[in-house]
Amino acid sequence: MDQALLDLFNAQAQDAGPMGVLRPSPFELSDLLKTWSGPRPLRVCSGGTSSLAAAQNQWTLDLRPQLNRIVWQSTDHAVWVGGGCRMRDVLQALLPYGQSIPTGLSGMPGLGYVLTGGMGPRSRALGLAIDHLLDIRGVWGNGEEFWLQRHRDGDSAEWRGLCGAAPFLAVVSEVRLLTHPRIPLWVEQCRLPSDALPDWMQEAEASDPSICLQWHWGDADRLDILRVYAQDPGSSKIGRIDGLDQLPALVVPRPGAGRVHSEVVGLLGPAGAAGWKERMPLLRDCMDRRPHSSCSLSGQQLGGATSLVPSDHTSFHHRDAVWKPWITAGWVAGDLAMRQRSLQWLEELWSVLQPLCPGVHLAQLHDHLPFHQRELEQAFGGWLPGLKALKQKVDPAGNLPPL
């Protein structure tokens, strides 16, 4: 046990000053949760990329040192991934076998990426990361151990809960994921005036599922585009990479930006480029009034294979979603007045997007912020009461974050 979490990717979590850090082995997890009498909830850290990987006056379970096993299984092209593994390490471990998993825009996220849904440039063709889960092992919030298998337990409430809402229910020690052959991809990157966004979205909505559009609106009037193709589009301006492990960043962090803290809210909405076009003046007005240069709006395309799984099979309720925009509210670390302004700005932008994106992708927990309940309702919809009943059964003392 020690206090240090200085290597966390998320600056806010790194600066949080937790009460303490525990680095359990898989064998210690059950007793730890069964006998926990310290402050609740415990925070869980896998990739350490979200703001609540650590919190003031709370304890963090840092899974990275002891739950880092990655084992390839040639028999059924699957891979065991420990609860504290980063996605880039999984991609690296699969390289010798010519296999891959559908990771997101960065290799930095840990197992939290998979457990909260997991979407990326290959999702339209291959589905969400949770759709690749074959086995899930771990410990419920009450300390009881479990090992669920999709072929046996795929219809159970427990399986459904873990696929998309695991952070509220359990500490997952290990999962087994289906892999795919690592294939070359073609990557188009450009900068455009922000007014071009609805036209690009419209084109993307009509495109083949082997193509995926990502965009980042950071500067008031500029858009960064990252369009990924799984088949050669035949243009000399579009570069080829050998696999997802070589994906360039959507946005390169600016040097000298200072220490920034931030919160991210992910939204989900159906196809609707025309609606985005109508809302552009309101969106542009919000973007012109960003309280800090790190405040931004980005988007990732879904649909295709992500919509093929029935919405009551997992906790990823919004299977009709074609766009996942996410709002980043940033501020200078320690500047509480700017934090307040940035979070207000986030909520204002969210209300502009609400008619287009009624859903939430709950990839980052915000039980320290006033809109936590709204996020839960918009993320899980009619499944929320079922999830709450499951939480009551498997984590009655609230060892893990509240639902």
Ligand X SMILES: Cc1cc2nc3c(=O)[nH]c(=O)nc-3n(C[C@H](O)[C@H](O)[C@H](O)COP(=O)(O)OP(=O)(O)OC[C@H]3O[C@@H](n4cnc5c(N)ncnc54)[C@H](O)[C@@H]3O)c2cc1C
Measured from the CB atom, is 109 or 198 closer to ligand X?
Answer: 109
Question: Which backbone phi and psi does 199 adopt, to 5 degrees?
Answer: -65, -40
> According to the binding rule CB under 6 A, does residue 18 interact with ligand X?
no
- Which of these ranges, 18-26, 44-52, 194-202, 347-355, lies near ligand X under the rule CB under 6 A? 44-52
DSSP 311: T
Residues 321, 373: Cα–Cα separation, whole Å: 21
Q: Where are the beta strands (DSSP E) in 94-178?
A: 99-100, 133-140, 145-149, 170-178
Structure tokens at 196: 């071009």
Residues ≥6 apart with Cβ < 8 Å to 1: 20, 21, 22, 23
Measured from the CB atom, is 197 or 244 closer to ligand X?
Answer: 244
CA distances from 295 to 39, 231, 330 (A): 32, 34, 5
Measured from the CB atom, is 85 or 287 closer to ligand X?
Answer: 85
Question: Which backbone phi and psi does 282 adopt, to 5 degrees?
Answer: -70, -40
The residue behind tokens 């873990």 is: 162
- Which of these ranges, 68-76, 115-123, 232-240, 272-280, lies near ligand X under the rule CB under 6 A? 115-123
Helical axes 197-205 vs 273-288, angle rounded to 10°: 150
> According to the binding rule CB under 6 A, does residue 41 interact with ligand X?
no
Q: Out of 18, 48, 141, 303, which residue is the one contacting ligand X (CB under 6 A)? A: 48
User: How far is C-alpha 274 from the geometric centre of its chain's CA atoms?
Assistant: 27
User: How far is C-alpha 220 from the geometric centre of its chain's CA atoms?
Assistant: 25
Between strands 296-301 and 323-332, the pairing is: antiparallel
> According to the binding rule CB under 6 A, does residue 109 interact with ligand X?
yes
Q: Out of 12, 14, 49, 298, which residue is the one contacting ligand X (CB under 6 A)? A: 49
Label residues 265-301 b or e (16+ Cβ within 10 Å = b): bbbbbbbbbebbeebeeebbebbeebbbebbbbbbbb
Measured from the CB atom, is 94 or 264 closer to ligand X?
Answer: 264
Measured from the CB atom, is 62 or 182 closer to ligand X?
Answer: 62
CA distances from 346 to 262, 284, 287, 292 (A): 11, 14, 10, 11
CA nearest to 104, candidates 84, 83, 126:
126
> According to the binding rule CB under 6 A, does residue 291 interact with ligand X?
no
Residues ≥6 apart with Cβ < 8 Å to 12: 51, 261, 262, 333
> According to the binding rule CB under 6 A, does residue 118 interact with ligand X?
yes
Smallest separation (angstroms) from ligand X to the CB of 190: 19
Measured from the CB atom, is 136 or 273 closer to ligand X?
Answer: 136
> According to the binding rule CB under 6 A, does residue 185 interact with ligand X?
no
Measured from the CB atom, is 79 or 111 closer to ligand X?
Answer: 111
> According to the binding rule CB under 6 A, does residue 44 interact with ligand X?
yes
Q: Out of 11, 19, 108, 251, which residue is the one contacting ligand X (CB under 6 A)? A: 108
- Which of these ranges, 49-57, 94-102, 240-248, 287-295, lies near ligand X under the rule CB under 6 A? 49-57
Measured from the CB atom, is 218 or 274 closer to ligand X?
Answer: 218
DSSP 26: T
Smallest separation (angstroms) from ligand X to the CB of 112: 2
Sign (positive/negative) of CA torsion 269, 270, 271, 273?
negative
Total chain residues near ligand X (CB under 6 A) = 34
> According to the binding rule CB under 6 A, does residue 116 interact with ligand X?
yes
Structure tokens at 348: 């204002």
| String marking each residue 62-101 x if it binds ligand X according to CB under 6 A | -x-------------------x------------------
If DSSP codes are grouped into helix, strand and coil, which group holds residue 377?
helix
Measured from the CB atom, is 113 or 383 closer to ligand X?
Answer: 113
Length of the chain: 403
Q: Out of 18, 26, 112, 270, which residue is the one contacting ligand X (CB under 6 A)? A: 112
| String marking each residue 345-384 x if it binds ligand X according to CB under 6 A | ------------------xxx-------------------
Smallest separation (angstroms) from ligand X to the CB of 376: 13
Measured from the CB atom, is 47 or 143 closer to ligand X?
Answer: 47
Residues ≥6 apart with Cβ < 8 Å to 145: 30, 137, 138, 139
> According to the binding rule CB under 6 A, does residue 172 interact with ligand X?
yes
Smallest separation (angstroms) from ligand X to the CB of 217: 16
Residues in contact with ligand X by CB under 6 A are 44-50, 52-53, 63, 83, 104-106, 108-113, 115-120, 166-167, 170-172, 363-365
